[in-house]
Each structure stands twice: as structure tokens, then as C-alpha cells.
A = this chain, B = another copy of it.
Amino acid sequence: MNQTATVIDELIAGGSNFAASLGINRIAGELYLLLFFSPRALSLDEMTQRLKVSKGHVSTNIRALERWQAVRKVWVKGSRKDYYEANPDTLRIIFRQLRQGLSQRFETLEKIMARAKTEISSLPGEGEAKSNDEFVYCRQRLEKIETMYKTISALLDKSEIFL
């Protein structure tokens, strides 16, 4: 292993630490960075050896990266191995992933909020002062959440410039 490799190892370690701290699987981060810094596509075996992790682990994680469109399989003539190269558009990958993840979760939340809104407006005042307080307060809070929700949605829409 030459000197360039050592420098890259450090970059991979630092970068995958960063990714891991954001909740991305460490090996996925390492795989992506390894490919990102590699001038040619690498085979599963090469990645396995270089990162010193099991073949199965590499297999599983590289396919996760493929699903995120962070890497892609390339065809290398004369070999029947699978080779992968990094999609260098890292920012786009991150934002796409972020946007998509949030949208899905938002849908679930939206349903819950819609139901809460219906339920709460159909509640009888219940007579006693305490319950009434809670009732009014809850409505206000729900409205506040909706406002925030719209702010974030708007931001997400703007982040389309990265896609």
C-alpha cells in the first residue's frame, strides 16, 4: 500500500466517522468514500480486503448504496466480478435522501394530525373549566404545528434545486 493510500485511509476514516455520527451505517460510508477516491471501479473482493470487513457485509451495504443511487454497478470486460463506482454527486444524494425520508414520515404525521383535528373539534366542551382549557390549548398547539409543518415543506420544495 502506497502513500496515497494512507492519506485516503485517513480521509475515509474521518469521513465515515462523520457519516456515522449522522446515523449512516459506518461501512456504507466507508464503501462510498473508498469508491469516491478511487480512480477506477472496484470489485467486492477489493473492497472487502481494503476495508477489512466480511464479504457479506460489503454485499449488503453496497446494495443499500445502490438503492440510494450513491454507487452504480459497472461492467468490466474480461471479468465476471461486479464492479462499483461512486456517484460523485454527494450533495445531491444527501438531499434526495433527506427529502424523500422526510416526505414519507410527513405523510404519516399528516394523517395523525388530520384525525386529531377532526376528533378535537367534535369533542363536546365537557362542561368543566379544566377540560375546556386543555381543549382550547390543544387546538392552538395543533395550529402551531401545522404552521411549522408548512414552513418545512416549503423549505423541502426549495431544496429541489439540489435534485
Contacts and interface: CB of A to CB of B under 8 A. Distances in A.
Interface string A118-146: 01100100100001011101100110110
Tell me what chain A mostly uses at the interface: helix, strand, loop, or mixed.
helix
A77 interface: no
Contacts of A144: 88
Given A105-B21, A131-B2, A138-B4, A112 B39 contact: no
A120 to B, nearest CB: 5
A90 B119 CA distance: 24
A115 interface: yes
**8 nearest A-B pairs in the assembled complex, by CB-CB distance:** A14-B112, A39-B137, A4-B134, A23-B23, A7-B119, A91-B148, A7-B116, A37-B141
